[in-house]
């Protein structure tokens, strides 16, 4: 699921050819792709028409500081508050109505997937990358708000994706620039970070986004690929590459059956340390279904094809993700 070229606001012949050469499963839109309601509607319609299989068309519309399309709408009747302010109200109905309002607006634009809500618990005040994007410092409040927001988006017909698993709220680093580190043990994770994600899953969120977060106290004893071993030994293997987090915890203990989506793969937490091929194959081997925003679509595509042909993963692993994706697209 790549982003469109910078400031692309319409389907050009070059973009149409690109989509034919690399039949992606979805597109994420950013503010630079957004000019007006009519323009976004035309863009999403043309993108769908250019694809033989329905596309996930996604964006980050959290309300507050992360808002890609909110400026297009008059929310004077029901102001869209930042998540932290929603959490401070303690009112799950406000969270539900916020999710529903955002969902109605997105669907009217042809956007069917929202990378929201944030399920991180903001326990580190020095963590500015999350800040007021989270519902607060209390896991119980965050859990209630995440659940209600997911239900609100669902009621509007828009897919939700809770983020950033296993938790970005207590890191010091911003994974846009550095590999983030979660320094705590399993007891702390179970008590603080896990509950909002569990609530989102129980509310039938369509996806869980994986953060580029190292968890030195919580990881597998083995690495699926040889190049991962030094990172595992140093305690710095990102959760993005961790079958412990994606398979043992998320799929196993939390019983999540929906889409596992990476955080943006163009973030420096990964690109400063790994090649496009390593990122592509590593995330997929770990268990991701959707690779979001690779820096090089061609290299990513070729690396996955090569890994399949070389037997690094088999067709059944590929089909596992395809079944989840087609199931999610069934209603599009």
- DSSP assignment of 238-282, as one string? BGGG-HIIIIIIIIIIS---SEEEESPTTSHHHHTTS-HHHHHHH
| CATH code of the domain containing 235 | 3.20.20.300
What tens digit of pLDDT does each residue of 180-203 get? 999 999 999 999 999 999 999 999
Q: What is the pLDDT of residues 221-249, one digit of tens each?
A: 888 899 999 999 999 999 999 999 999 99
**224 in a domain, yes or no?**
yes
Q: Tell me which residues are annotated as active site.
A: 176, 263
pLDDT category of residue 215 using cuts at 50, 70 and 90? very high
What pLDDT is attached to residue 223?
86
Is 134 within 8 Å of 184 (Cβ atoms)? no
For 100, 176, 208, the CA distances from 239, given in Å and listed in that order, are 31, 15, 13
In total, how many domains does the chain have?
Answer: 1
* pLDDT one-digit tens code per residue, 28-77: 999 999 999 999 999 999 999 999 999 999 999 998 899 999 999 998 89
pLDDT at 244: 96
Q: Which residues form the domain of 163?
A: 13-329
Task: State pLDDT tens for residues 242-290.
Answer: 999 999 999 999 999 999 999 999 999 999 999 999 999 999 999 999 9
177 in any annotated domain: yes
Q: Is the pLDDT of residue 329 over 90?
A: yes
pLDDT at 283 (0 to 100): 97
Residue 134 has pLDDT above 90, yes or no: yes
Is the residue at 247 inside a domain?
A: yes
Cα separation, 67 vs 116, in Å, equals: 11
Mean pLDDT of 94-112: 98
Looking at the domain assignment, is residue 193 inside a domain? yes
Residue 4 located in a structural domain: no
Strands (E), the chain: 26-28, 56-59, 61-63, 66-67, 113-114, 159-165, 180-181, 207-210, 213-214, 259-262
- Within 47-203, strands assigned E span 56-59, 61-63, 66-67, 113-114, 159-165, 180-181
Classify residue 122: in a domain, yes or no: yes
8 inside domain: no
Tell me: the pLDDT tens digits for 135-182?
999 999 999 999 999 999 999 999 999 999 999 999 998 889 999 999
Q: How do strand 56-59 and strand 26-28 relate by DSSP bridges?
A: parallel
Q: Span 117-140, mean pLDDT?
A: 95
How far, in Å, are 93, 97, 188 from residue 137 at the CA level? 20, 22, 14
Instruction: Give the per-residue pLDDT at 142.
Output: 98
In a domain, 90, yes or no: yes
Please determine, for residue 113, whether its predicted confidence score (pLDDT) is greater than 90: yes
Average pLDDT over the chain reads 96
Phi then psi dihedrals of residue 236, to 5 deg: -115, 15
- Whether cis (ω within 30° of 0) applies to the bond prior to 199 is no
């Amino acid at each position: 699921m790549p982003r469109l070229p910078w400031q692309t606001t319409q389907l050009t012949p070059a973009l149409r050819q690109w989509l034919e050469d690399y039949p992606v499963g979805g597109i994420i839109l950013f503010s630079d792709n957004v000019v007006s309601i009519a323009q976004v509607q035309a863009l999403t319609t043309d993108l769908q028409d250019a694809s033989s299989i329905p596309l996930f068309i996604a964006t980050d519309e959290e309300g507050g500081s992360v808002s890609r399309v909110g400026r297009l709408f008059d929310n004077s009747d029901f102001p869209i508050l930042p998540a932290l302010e929603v959490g401070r109200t303690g009112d799950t109905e406000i969270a539900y109505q916020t999710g529903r309002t955002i969902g109605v607006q997105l669907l009217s634009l042809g956007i069917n997937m929202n990378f929201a809500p944030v399920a991180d618990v903001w326990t580190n005040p020095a963590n500015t990358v999350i800040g007021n994007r989270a519902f607060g410092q209390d896991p119980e409040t965050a859990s209630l708000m995440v659940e209600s927001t997911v239900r609100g988006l669902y009621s509007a017909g828009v897919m939700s994706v809770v983020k950033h698993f296993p938790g970005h709220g207590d890191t010091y680093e911003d994974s846009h620039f550095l590999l983030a580190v979660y320094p705590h043990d399993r007891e702390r994770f179970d008590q603080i970070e896990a509950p909002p994600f569990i609530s989102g899953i129980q509310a039938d969120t369509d996806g869980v986004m994986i953060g580029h977060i190292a968890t030195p106290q919580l990881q597998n004893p083995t690495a699926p690929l040889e190049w991962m071993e030094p990172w595992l030994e140093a305690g710095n293997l990102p959760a993005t590459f961790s079958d412990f987090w994606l398979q043992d915890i998320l799929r196993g203990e939390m019983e999540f059956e929906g889409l596992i989506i990476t955080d943006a793969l163009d973030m420096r937490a990964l690109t400063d340390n790994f090649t496009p091929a390593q990122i592509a194959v590593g995330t997929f081997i770990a268990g991701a279904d959707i690779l979001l925003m690779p820096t090089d679509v061609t290299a990513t595509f070729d690396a996955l094809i090569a890994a399949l042909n070389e037997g690094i993963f088999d067709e059944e692993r590929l089909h596992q993700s395809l079944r989840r994706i087609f199931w999610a697209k069934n209603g599009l």
